[in-house]
Structure 1
Amino acid sequence: MEHSYIPQAGQRRFDDLYLCYCGYEECRPGHSFGPAVRPNYIIHYILKGKGIYQTEKAAYELGAGQGFLIEPGSQTYYQADRDDPWTYLWVGFAGRRAAEYLSGMGLGEGRLTYHSSRGEDLKAIVEDMLKHNTYTSASQFALESALFSFFAALSEDLDVMSAAGKADGSLYVRKAVEFIQNNYYTPIRVTDIAGYVCINRSYLCTLFRKELNMSPQEYLANYRLTQAAELLLITDLSIEAVALSCGYSDPLVFSKAFKLKNGLTPSAYRREKLSRPSGRGRRNSGASASGISI
């Protein structure tokens, strides 16, 4: 099913950047377009499913959360996967400063694929564009505003991908680490982390081992236990409360993991560290575990 909009011919009010057409489509298995040459830029964003995008110089396997740019005058071909066909949106545009704006985001001149987690925002903007299906002055202003909103949303969270069709692995790892550090006290799993950065679990594990020499699960466990050790020294929280504050629902599981990492149980670790003259000072806390800031 396809929904699209192509403005009627008329006097254009804007020259720097303007909308040529837009739409979104739930593609049939194996649906393809091209080879074709376009006179303007087109940005596609994949909402779900997967497919391939080919230029004269490279081929890319892309999936949900990723997208591709078609440049004017470039021969391209793209096809939906036969088992998991993609649903995507697209925005065609042109203008004397279009290349400049794309360059500011890191796209264009051969940099043709990207990753973004702003899919819902981009879809909402395109849906808004589709509502303005008349070529009135009001619609032109509304469409121009929506086009800049599309660029703004994309610019806020865009990782340009390499010619191999994959974003720099360190970017995924940094985003995953940030997610862990902001959510370690909740019962997150590796699948949640992978979902946040829009890649599969297996690929996330590969990237973590390459960048950090450990798995995402190991990083999560180490981070939780490091925060727990800090809490043991700077608060009067019970062992159970420390466990809950660091994402462990079972104090026994927490104690075993803590001892495995530090060689001491949480209680023994607290006693030994605080008995030393140089031990960390403890901060009294009547607040709940969730109110502690690390």
Structure 2
Amino acid sequence: MGYKKNLSIYYCGMEECKPGHSFGPAIRPHYLMHFVLRGKGIYQVKGKEFKVNKGEAFLIRPQDVTYYEADLEDPWEYVWIAFDGEEADAILEEYQLLEDKFICQIDESKDSALYLRKIAEAFLNRYDERELMGYFYLIISSIKKEKSEQKRDYDKSYLDKAISYIRYNYSYNINVSDIARHVGIERTYLYKIFMRYQKMSPKQYLTRYRLLAAKDMLGNTKYTITEIALSCGFHNSSMFSKSFQKEEKISPSQFRKQLLEADQ
């Protein structure tokens, strides 16, 4: 996948949902935020369920399995914005939307509803990119920050920086030493942080991230096994197949065949 722009808006739109309308379980390759203009619904992620109401937004992170559903009596109307890039990580950190936070409140006194409708209309009507970005920043600035901002755990900050580096560089020939160097800590310290928060080593996390990207390519592209292996940061198809077999208990070719048969 390689390097991404500092900030990209991929798509946005608006929907007035019918009672019980749902989406998922699904995985997104980028950030996706839903801003609720009216009504309510539920959002499920990482084994948790959140009730989301008018004036709130829920965040979908890349590679998270999510599900959301409109209320049966008071279904929501929302605007969604799909975005990504290194600046996106910084923005979400600034507004305290960290790895363990999925819901935020919107300051409706800042004309957020107007800007949300405007960005959806702008995207639909062959938008000007500067106009779209302008609305995006106005919308993000309406997110309410928590009043009691506590000093952030340094280890969590290191973890987020490491994961962000992996996200944007997994397709290159990087290793654990490169990650530690980017974060600015020793390899052994990085290992302890990953074991504490992710219950796996940095090497395991990197490999699993690459395999997740490879599975997506196996199901959605016609690239060869070797092309997918190299695109996802593996040195060769043999190493890729060995890692894939260990993790999935089947070969990449068998995995692709199962997906094709399921679609028929």
Larger radius of gyration: 1
TM-score normalized by structure 1? 0.45
Relative contact order, higher structure (CA 8 A, sep 6+)? 2
